[in-house]
Amino acid sequence: MVILKTTREIAKMRNAGRISQRALQEAGRAVQPGVSTYEIDCIVRDYIEKQGATPSFLGYGGFPASACISVNNVVIHGIPSKNHILKNGDIVSIDVGAKFEGYHGDNAWTFPCGDISKDAQALLDATREALFEGIKNAVAGARIGDIGHAVQQYAEARSYSVVRDFVGHGVGAKLHEDPSVPNYGIPHRGVRLLPGMTIAIEPMITQGTHKVKVLDDGWTTVTADGMLAAHFEHTVAITSDGTVILTSAD
Ligand code: MG
């Protein structure tokens, strides 16, 4: 069931979104060769807790950290570790959520570590732009399929693949609500987008196959062919005055 939010609830979600985005930016600034993914997770947790908020992911379904940190061929749900030291040339996807006054924000960004290859940079650029194509199509009166179609078309036109096994989602008092927001789809199909809907749009785009596998830890999700993946996400609110990015810093 899709839960529509009031203007007042959306204002609260804007606060949660702002904290989530600032935590993500703090994490991104820390990405450099020689830093462990555990250190970045600590930065995220400290920042969120200092704002009087709670890291949404910590303990969610048993997840052991505040941020998912997914490097290179890891698509999503990478577990931060003291033993994982970032190297020059890595691409580092960081997914962060914060709960504040009862509502969640959820966002992700893939950061370059030092100097990355042209191919890696092109993947980052395409995935970020695919996210904004999705957001552009997330307007009242459109349908969920319009978002996924826009993302898919943008990515596949550049010979990338769209991960199917994981999708975006509604966000609110719960981190994951209805509807599902796939990054693929058919125009004019699926749930109609209404003012008051708050959703996370989060393309996961790969260089090779769209197929992924989950490692034995039950979380770490990697590309089946070992090629690079990128992940960008914003939580947005659909309103009668247009679509608002809730996970924005200012
Ligand atoms: Mg999400």
In a domain, 109, yes or no: yes
Compute the distance from residue 168 Cα to the ligand 1 centre, in Å: 6
pTM of the entire predicted model: 0.98
Q: What is the rounded average pLDDT of the residues 29-36?
A: 98
In a domain, 28, yes or no: yes
Average pLDDT for the chain? 98
Q: What is the pLDDT of residues 184-217, one digit of tens each?
A: 999 999 999 999 999 999 999 999 999 999 999 9
> What is the structure's pLDDT at 250?
87
Would you say residue 74 has pLDDT above 90? yes
Q: What is the rounded average pLDDT of the residues 152-172?
A: 98
Compute the distance from residue 64 Cα to the ligand 1 centre, in Å: 17
Total structural domains within the chain: 1
- Cβ(146)–Cβ(199) under 8 Å? no
In a domain, 176, yes or no: yes
Residue 97 phi, psi (nearest 5): -130, 145
Compute the distance from residue 147 Cα to the ligand 1 centre, in Å: 15
In a domain, 45, yes or no: yes
Compute the distance from residue 81 Cα to the ligand 1 centre, in Å: 21
In a domain, 229, yes or no: yes
Q: What is the pLDDT of residues 99-134, one digit of tens each?
A: 999 999 999 999 999 999 999 999 999 999 999 999
In a domain, 2, yes or no: no
Compute the distance from residue 38 Cα to the ligand 1 centre, in Å: 20
Compute the distance from residue 200 Cα to the ligand 1 centre, in Å: 6
What sign results for the dihedral spanned by CA atoms 180, 238, 111, 117?
Answer: positive
Q: Which domain holds residue 107?
A: 7-245
Query: In this structure, what CATH number is given to the domain that contains residue 146?
Result: 3.90.230.10
| Cβ-based neighbour number of residue 250 at 10 Å | 5
Compute the distance from residue 84 Cα to the ligand 1 centre, in Å: 23
Q: What is the rounded average pLDDT of the residues 134-158?
A: 98
Compute the distance from residue 107 Cα to the ligand 1 centre, in Å: 6
Q: Which SS3 state, helix, strand or coil, does residue 167 take?
A: coil
Compute the distance from residue 106 Cα to the ligand 1 centre, in Å: 5
Q: What is the rounded average pLDDT of the residues 219-236?
A: 98
Strand partners, 127: none
Residue the block writes with tokens 């940190």: 69
In a domain, 59, yes or no: yes
Whole-angstrom distance, CA of residue 198 vs CA of residue 200 = 7
Compute the distance from residue 211 Cα to the ligand 1 centre, in Å: 19
Compute the distance from residue 177 Cα to the ligand 1 centre, in Å: 10
> What is the structure's pLDDT at 198?
98
In a domain, 1, yes or no: no
- Cβ(144)–Cβ(196) under 8 Å? no
